[in-house]
Structures are given as C-alpha cells and as structure tokens.
Amino acid sequence: MGEEEFWREEGEGARVEEEAPRAERPAFDLEERTARFGEAIVAFAKRIPQGPVNNRMIDQIVGAGTSIGANYCEADDSVSKREFMVNINRCRKEARETKSFLRMIAGAEPALKDEARRLWQEAKELNLIFSAIVRRRERNDECRRTNR
C-alpha cells in the first residue's frame, strides 16, 4: 500500500479536506506557514497517548515537524547560494520525515488518523514546495553554466 492509499478511507476520493480554506492560509509566507505547521505538530503530539512505542514517535515527529520552520529561517538568512541549498534540502528532508512519522502514528493510534491526515497533507505540500525550489535553483544554475 502506498502513501496516498494509506490516507484514503474506503470509498474516499484522493482529495483530503482542508481544515481551513486556502484563502485563509498564508500561501506564500513560508516562514509563517512552517511556524504554524510546527505549532500544529506540537499540539498534535500532546494528544498522542504515551507509551514505549509512541514516545519514540512523539520525539521524532516533534523534532522533524518543528525543524522545517527552523531550517527555513536558516535558509532565508543564508549568506551564500550553497548554504541556502543545504538548508532548503534539509527542509525538504524534514517534511518527508514528518510524513513518514505521521503515517506510523496514524497506524498506531487509529483515533488520531483524521488529524494526522490533515497534517500529512500539509507536510506533503511543504515537501513539494521545497522540492520545487530545489529544482528551480538547479535548473537556473545549469542555465548559467551552459550560457557561459
């Protein structure tokens, strides 16, 4: 079973309902968007029942989910292109890791699956945004090299 299939309920389409309409979310302010995501991850983690298995996942999801915003701030303050790319790639990696732990938590705690699904969708969107930034930067760098 793939990621997308895991998050679908039986008979459900591919689209996940969003908690807030897109117009109400700051679509282009990545610093604010990643901060809100980190806050949502912390609030979610507080609702996960503690136990030997869950405690490890709680630590991991809080670490990965909150570091996306911290790494984005570092990227935004980068002094070189190389430093920018290292930090943006780290954002992308942490978003993907967050998706993985959300899936594990949803499997371990089915009562939290709906909330985990909404967070997973946002982590997926963040991962896609950071991936697009990386691809665009790589494409621009390649164009500069070939035009010299």
For the chain, which residues make up each domain, given as ranges? 28-146
pLDDT of residue 138: 78
Residue 21 has pLDDT above 60, yes or no: no
Residue 47 has pLDDT above 60, yes or no: yes
Buried b (16+ CB within 10 A) or exposed e, 40-79: bbeebbeebeeeeebeebbebbbebbbbbbbbbebbeeee
Which of 46, 65, 63 minimizes the C-alpha distance to 109? Answer: 46
Q: Sorting pLDDT into bands at 50, 70 and 90, what band is 16?
A: very low
> Is the pTM for the entire model greater than 0.85?
no
pLDDT of residue 100: 97
Higher pLDDT, 42 or 6: 42
Six token digits for residue 48: 């996960």
Residue 140 has pLDDT above 60, yes or no: yes
**Which of 5-14, 45-54, 66-75, 133-142 shows the lowest per-residue confidence on average (mean pLDDT)?**
5-14
pLDDT of residue 46: 98
Mean pLDDT of the chain: 87
The CATH topology of domain 28-146 is de novo design (two linked rop proteins) (1.20.1440)
* Dihedral, CA of residue 76, residue 77, residue 82 and residue 86, to nearest 10: -60
Residue 27 has pLDDT above 60, yes or no: no
pLDDT of residue 137: 82
Buried b (16+ CB within 10 A) or exposed e, 90-127: bbbbbbbbbbbbbbbbbeebeebbebbbbbbbbbbebb
